[in-house]
Amino acid sequence: MIILTRLAGSRFAVNPDLLERVESTPDTVLTLLDGTKYVVAEPVEDVVARVTDYRATVIATARRLAEQQELASASPESASAAWPDDVTPQLAPAVPLRRRRRS
C-alpha cells in the first residue's frame, strides 16, 4: 500500500496493484481498475515514485523469503521451526473485483 493525501488533507492508503491510470488535470487524479477516482495532493511524479518504491520493496521481500526458504531446506531442523506442528497457516479467500455501476 502507498500512503497519499487527499486535497482536504486527510491521508489514505491505496493498493498500487489496483491503479489503472494516474493523470494530472492539473490536480493529480488516480483511477482504479473498478473506475473509482481519487484526487490527491501529490504530483504525478511522486505517485509514480511511491509505486516504484512499493514494487521494489515487494521484489526485495520476495527474494529475501526465497533465500530464507533455501537456507531452511538446506538444514531440516530449521525448516521444522517455521511452523509449530499444531499450527496450520490458512489464506483468506480471494475476493473478485467488480466494476462499479454508474447511475
Alpha-carbon distances, residue 80 vs 13, 61, 66, 68, 69 (angstroms): 36, 21, 16, 13, 11
Tally of domains within the chain: 1
Q: Would 52 be classed as within a structural domain?
A: yes
Question: In the predicted model, is pLDDT for residue 15 greater than 60?
Answer: yes
Determine the structural domain holding residue 9 and report its residue range.
Answer: 2-78
88: in domain:
no
Number of residues that this document lists for the chain: 103
**Does 73 map to a domain?**
yes
Domain assignment of residue 100, yes or no: no
Tell me the pLDDT tens digit for each residue of 62-75: 898 888 888 777 76
- Residue with the bigger pLDDT between 17 and 102: it is 17
Report the helix count and the strand count for the chain, using DSSP H and E.
Answer: 2, 5
Task: Look at residues 40, 46, 74 and name the one whose alpha carbon lies nearest to residue 31.
Answer: 40
Tell whether 35 is covered by a domain.
yes
**Is 70 domain-assigned?**
yes
Predicted TM-score (pTM) of this structure:
0.67
- Residue 68 pLDDT: 84
**b/e string for 3-23 if b means 16 or more Cβ within 10 A?**
ebeeeeeeeeebebeebeebe
pLDDT: is 94 or 48 the higher one? Answer: 48
